[in-house]
């Protein structure tokens, strides 16, 4: 009996390491590919390549803990597609990381890179660990051992990791140093999102949030939604959500509600975002912020707002809460925050969604700038980087919007059409070797 995905028109010949009954985030990606396939014309003959990651590496990551014991952690690096260039994608440290999740994230990176037309394929990595339970020395040992284990498939021209959930520029510095020690030379281009002093790029820290704001503001303009006075709700106030909230507030919008892992707050007149960001930096959460009233977690989805920015984790907007969302515009700062069923509900209700695969592509766009600067050893000003970022993001949204209008599809499907055509055309031109 074949291992296939139930409940869709297309039968997927699944690899043996997947369970058809519990596909997780990878199943969402497969459904998204199914939706775009009818628009691919002759390139559809290659579409099965999108449903199979090119390479999956699962590694054991043993480290000595501070108490002298040895602990083992499960690590992954998935390269989904490299037809257009080396793999590119973040590394996340989270206790709920799974192979399905990393596969889906790598696949979404393939789509994202192609959508903004940077010359990368899609990749992703992760370790199944709660980093908050590790000391700083343990975190460093974990990072260095993981880097050594995946070192056989990463490199400046092969696969370039970057920060993601619970990783940052310090983790990237450890990864870069470990890889450099193993190859016998300083290889700054092996990772992006590094400290400035180690070849990092100006503007990289704010890039994803700035990209969310850039495409969000442009989408709002196109649907006649003025930013001045617009009510914004943000889920997740980390690097992406925090920067996006700050930029929307500076543009005159009112950020009225914020939810994170430990709390949810509301203020009808608008939150003081700089003060809230200082509070989060000091206390680790929005919980306890005195200049706002607490809000029940589930009530967040009922918040009266014009713009909703999910900037936390996957599968947050589902068919269970999609009917309750009051926003006219959703800008996906997180990867995969909306399930296909919720997508359909929101589309039927006339809610415009700017999908993750274009909305949060600012980070990889400036990562591309960082990679180019590392290779040339010539670095640009922050103003130049931000101007280039805005130009790339607006250009990508223009192309996607045109396809959506021409074919009468959602922005998500239009983004997949643009990206999949670019990926599969490259596959078609390269052919199969041998």
Q: Where are the alpha helices (DSSP H) in 151-233?
A: 169-183, 204-222
Question: How many separate helices (H) and strands (E) can be counted in the chain?
Answer: 12, 12
Token output for 383: 């103003």
What is the four-CA torsion angle of 248, 250, 252, 253, rounded to 10 degrees? 30
- Choose the catalytic residue: 88, 112, 124, 194: 124
**Cis-peptide into 434, omega within 30 deg:** yes
367 closest CA partner among 385, 381, 342, 344? 385
CA 68 – CA 63 distance, rounded (Å): 10
> What are the C-alpha distances in Å from 343 to residues 60, 170, 216, 315, 351?
37, 36, 18, 11, 9
Q: Is 224 exposed, middle or buried (CB count within 10 Å of its CB: 0-12, 13-18, 19+)?
A: exposed
Phi-psi region of 408 (alpha: psi -120 to 50; beta: other; left: phi over 0): left
| Residue 407 annotated as catalytic | no
Q: What is the DSSP string of 38-105?
A: GGSGGGGGGGGGGGS-SEEEEEEEEEE-TTS-EEEEEEEEEEEE-SSSSEEEEEEEETT--HHHHHHH
87-94, strands of its sheet edge to edge: 55-64, 70-81, 121-128, 87-94, 159-163
Q: Which positions are catalytic?
A: 124
């Amino acid at each position: 009996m074949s291992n296939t995905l139930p409940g869709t028109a297309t039968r997927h010949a699944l690899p043996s390491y997947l369970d058809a009954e519990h596909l997780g985030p990878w199943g969402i990606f497969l459904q998204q590919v199914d939706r775009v396939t009818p628009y691919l014309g002759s390139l559809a003959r290659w579409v099965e390549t999108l449903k199979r990651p090119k390479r999956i590496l699962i590694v054991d990551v043993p480290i000595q803990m501070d108490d002298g014991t040895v602990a083992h952690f499960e690590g992954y690096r998935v390269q989904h597609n490299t037809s257009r260039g080396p793999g590119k994608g973040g590394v996340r440290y989270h206790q709920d990381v799974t192979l399905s999740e990393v596969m889906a994230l790598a696949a979404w990176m393939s789509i994202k890179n192609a959508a903004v037309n940077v010359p990368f394929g899609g990749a992703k990595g992760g370790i199944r660990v709660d980093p908050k339970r590790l000391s700083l020395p343990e975190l460093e040992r974990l990072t260095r051992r993981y880097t050594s284990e995946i070192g056989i498939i990463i490199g400046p021209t092969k696969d370039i990791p970057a920060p993601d959930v619970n990783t940052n520029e310090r983790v990237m510095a450890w990864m870069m140093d470990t890889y450099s020690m193993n190859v016998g030379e300083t290889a700054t281009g092996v990772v992006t999102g590094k400290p400035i002093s180690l070849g990092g790029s100006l503007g990289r820290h704010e890039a994803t949030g700035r990209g969310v704001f850039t495409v969000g503001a442009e989408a709002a303009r196109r649907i006649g939604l003025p930013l001045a006075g617009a009510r914004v709700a943000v889920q997740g106030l980390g690097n992406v959500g925090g920067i996006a909230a700050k930029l929307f507030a500076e543009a005159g919008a009112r950020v009225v509600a914020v939810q994170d892992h430990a709390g949810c707050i509301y203020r009808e007149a608008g939150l003081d975002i700089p003060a809230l960001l200082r509070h989060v930096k000091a206390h680790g959460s929005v919980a306890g912020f005195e200049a706002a009233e607490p809000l029940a977690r589930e009530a967040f989805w009922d918040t009266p707002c014009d713009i909703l920015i999910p900037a936390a984790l996957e599968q947050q907007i589902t068919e269970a809460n999609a009917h309750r969302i009051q926003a006219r515009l959703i800008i996906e700062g997180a990867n995969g925050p909306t399930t296909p069923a919720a997508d359909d509900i929101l589309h039927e209700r006339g809610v415009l969604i700017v999908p993750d695969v274009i909305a949060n592509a600012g980070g990889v766009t400036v990562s591309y700038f960082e990679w180019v600067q590392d290779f040339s050893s010539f670095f640009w000003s922050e103003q130049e980087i931000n101007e280039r970022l805005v130009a790339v993001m607006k250009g990508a949204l223009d192309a996607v919007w045109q396809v959506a209008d021409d074919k009468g599809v959602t922005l998500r499907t239009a983004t997949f059409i643009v990206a999949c055509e670019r990926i599969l055309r490259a596959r078609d031109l390269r052919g199969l070797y041998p």
